[in-house]
Structure 1
Amino acid sequence: MTATTEPGSAPTVTDFRDGVRAWLDANDLTPPADHSLDAQVVQLARVRRALYEAGWMRYGWPVAVGGLGGPAVLRAVLGEEVATRDLAEPGIYSMIEVLAPTVISYASAELAADLVPRLLSGEEQWCQGFSEPGSGSDLASLSTRAVPDGDSWVIDGQKVWTSLAQYATRCVLLTRTAPGHDGITAFLVDMDTPGITVRPLRTMHGVDEFAEVYFDNVVVPADRMLGAPGDGWRVAMDLLPHERSTCFWHRIAYLFTRLDRLLEQTAIPDDAELGAAYLALHAARCRSRITQDRLASGAHLGPETSVDKVLLATAEQRLFDTARELLPGAIEFDDPVWRTEYLYSRAATIYGGTAEIQRNIIARRLLDLGKE
């Protein structure tokens, strides 16, 4: 079965899922045995390209940017099928769910129509330049500065923990143009612009997924601004629901495949440990489903998504802690795949907003417990 390529003729969720599954059964997108980051990025482009050409990747996106329309939940279903079959690493696959909606919402219609199809089709990889050495969870304290210069802006500063920056063609970048929250401005920057230096960072799980990015007198045309001067904080806050809805849904689907793998490899199951890991994942999935439904209904997502973040981080670490308990020596000595994923899970309570910050948000803004 091949997806229809006629805009405005979106299938039901059930028909879409059945069609995707049938198409994936008939088209082999199995990744190579090479688990390096280079290979993962190549595989990501391959998967996106194949799904785009077949039409599946275009559902759930506006017709104006090369999509076929239909509800955004179709994108969640597609990503779930990709994650469940282990066709692409879910973290880098899901970046599209953060960056494309931001550009669609804030770039000019002409710019979005030109560039978003390149991301959807796998022709380009993009990155997100938010965090800085002195402003991680405290994003509002960022200091990378943009200064107007005629019809352009000149950017100076440094970003860090920028995923896949060394592969990226564009960067959704937050800069400081004035004091305070209203002094943050966003740009879509071409990564080959003179003055940009990318330095990959080797993490403890042995992958250069993150990078430092330096901006030294980088000239960016004014028409690459996302929104208006001072809209950057709003851009960041609008980006968050996508990060904590569809992206989380994909991640949870992937983690369930890891639980299945653990069950297959466990010689002497510990029902209590496995049950606790399953319940943690199931709780995160149920909460994520509520968020997906609210986003689909057009509801505004706010501080309640911090609950999603805490549940997902807790479930991920519990799963890999269970794997370490039930597969003695595998993570330490025998299995590089389990070891890499276990080490990566240690960062689950840090990236995307630390667990401490998320619990503070829950306490102050949801439970009204005050600032202390």
Structure 2
Amino acid sequence: MTELHEPAAFRAALRQWLDENDLTPAEGEHSLDAHQAQHVRVLAALYDAGWMRYGWPESAGGLGGPDVLRAIVGEEVVGRGLDHPGPYSMLDVLAPTLIDYARPELAAEMVPRLLSGAETWCQGFSEPGSGSDLASLTTRAVQDGDTYVVNGQKVWTSFAQYAKRCILLARTGGPDVPNHEAISAFFVDLDSPGVTVRPLRTMHDVDEFCEVYFDDVVVPADRMLGNPGDGWRLAMDLLPYERSTCFWQRIAYLYSRFDALVEQVKRQGQVVDTDMGEAYLALHTLRCRSRATQHRLATGAKLGPDTSVDKVLLASAEQRLFDTVHDLLPGAIELDDTQWRTEYLYSRAATIYGGTAEVQRNIIARRLLDLGKE
């Protein structure tokens, strides 16, 4: 193991490099287009300097080392406000999935494009009527010789308007095949004929989410990820990445926003009170839980329904933080057109995105606490 494969040495060297290389975003640029341009800029710089390649296997263009090195890069970059957690976190969800399920030569070709910012990818899972009940999805892929023809619709597809590729779930099995065994996964080029992307503007006035329509889209059979019927397994294997490194970056961002709140409260001559203490405690509890999850994943542990606890804690901490902003900064949410307003509105969805709070609590009750279905 080289010196930089040791986490503490890696973090110290990365911090020094970030101090010496100015990747600060342009002042006052808060649009989604600006965030995406900054995301690409940061990835390109990190990749060229080698930092984005650590923690990834050499077979996919990486420099090796433990997975935790990827978490350190994300924490430092997002925590410093150099990149937003949304587009950045997609790396740690989609790249491992492609490495695990794609043909090795396809992963070796494509993963460096994602890590370097040359391409953006998206995740085509949820559908109208098939969000929490993913196994009921209706997008269908029908084999036609050495291709599949895809028809259907996806929704809540983050950053699809910028994406070059999509990891897509589609039904390939017939009506006699159980739902969980009838789903396959594909790596689809979004510039293929028949693909239509329509951004959705949400109540926080950002069109991060999209609808994506597939009308007779032809996908080469060798773009299937895994084997026919492996789609559900791929989705379940993706979940640990979504709730480990991905969460770690989100937590770093929330801590940075907590620090910004403390500074603003002090500037206004207010006292840091118990409300802020409760917000900090919620963040700290979440971080401790996520740290344990990170280390379990690093040791090769199989993550399962226990990550529902992480999801509930994340949603609670995020909403608690921005509720505190609402309480301590009068008018910042209702009257002022500030970043706080956008983030407060976005936090309302924290109990929905990535698995609703109700579903997560049911999983905890039934599968962790064995409380049954009633």
| TM-score, scaled relative to structure 2 | 0.97
- Amino acid in structure 2 at the alignment position of 1:247: C
Hey, what's the Cα distance between the residues in 2 that align with 1:268 and 1:137?
A: 42
Match of 1:283 in 2: 285
Distance in 2 (CA, whole Å) between partners of 1:328 and 1:8 is 52
Contact 1:10 1:69 in 2 (8 A): no
* Mapping of residues 153-172 of structure 1, within 5 Å: 153-172=148-167
Cα-to-partner distance string for 1:323-352 (whole Å, 9 max, x where unaligned)? 010000111122421000010000000000
Q: Deviations for 1:7-57, whole angstroms, at most 9, x for unmatched residues?
A: 966431111100111000000000112111011111101000000000000
1:18 and 2:18 aligned? no
Q: How does 1:246-261 map to 2 (within 5 A)?
A: 246-261=245-260
Determine if contact 2:61/2:112 at 8 Å carries over to the other structure: yes
- Aligned partners of 1:29, 1:14: CA distance in 2, in Å? 22
Residue 143 (structure 2) pairs with residue 144 (structure 1): no
Task: State the shift of 1:269 in Å.
Answer: 2.6
Distance change (3 Å), C-alpha of 1:9 and 1:153:
farther
Provide Cα deviations, 1:166-205, integer angstroms capped at 9, x if missing partner: 1000000000111410011000000000000000000000
What secondary structure does 1:18 align onto? helix
- Paired with 1:312 and 1:108, the residues of 2 have a C-alpha distance of 34
Measured in 1, the distance between the counterparts of 2:95 and 2:133 equals: 24
Given that 1:66 and 1:117 are in contact with CA atoms closer than 8 Å, whether structure 2 keeps it comes out as yes
Query: How do 1:41-60 residues align onto structure 2 when only pairs under 5 Å count?
Result: 41-60=36-55
Which residue of 2 is the match for residue 350 of structure 1?
352
1:29 to 20, 23, 32: 23
Provide the residue aligned with 2:300 in structure 1: 298
**Runs of 4+ with deviation above 3 angstroms:** 7-10
CA deviation vs aligned residue, 1:200-248 (integer Å, no higher than 9, x gap): 0000001010000000000000000000000000000000000000010
| Whole-angstrom CA distance in 2 between matches of 1:60 and 1:80 | 14
Q: Are 1:39 and 2:34 matched, yes or no?
A: yes
Give me the CA root mean square deviation: 1.0
AA in 2 matched with 1:341: E
Q: Deviations over 1:268-291 (max 9, x none)?
A: 235210010000000000000010
Residue pair 2:24, 2:82 contacting (<8 A) in 1 also: yes
Measured at CA, do residues 25 and 10 of structure 1 come closer, stay the same or move farther in structure 2, by a change above 3 Å? closer
What corresponds to 1:262 in structure 2? 261
Who is 1:130 aligned against?
Answer: 125
- Report what 1:317 is aligned to: 319
Asked if the contact 2:43/2:115 (under 8 Å) is kept, the reply is yes
Report the CA distance between 1:115 and its aligned residue: 0.5
2:115 corresponds to which residue?
A: 120
Q: Which moved more, 1:261-270 or 1:308-317?
A: 261-270
Q: Secondary structure at the match of 1:188?
A: strand
SS at match of 1:334: coil
Structure 2: stretches of 5+ with no match in the other structure: none
Question: In structure 1, what is the Cα distance between the partners aligned to 2:39 and 2:130?
Answer: 30
| Overall identity of the aligned pairs, in % | 72
Q: Tell me, what secondary structure is at the counterpart of 1:333?
A: coil
How many residues of Structure 1 are paired with residues of Structure 2 in the alignment? 366
Structure 2 counterpart SS, 1:344: helix
Provide, for residues 114-159 of structure 1, a one-character-per-residue CA deviation record: whole Å limited to 9, x for no partner: 0100000000000000000010011111110010000000000000
Aligned to 1:332, the other structure's residue is in SS state: coil
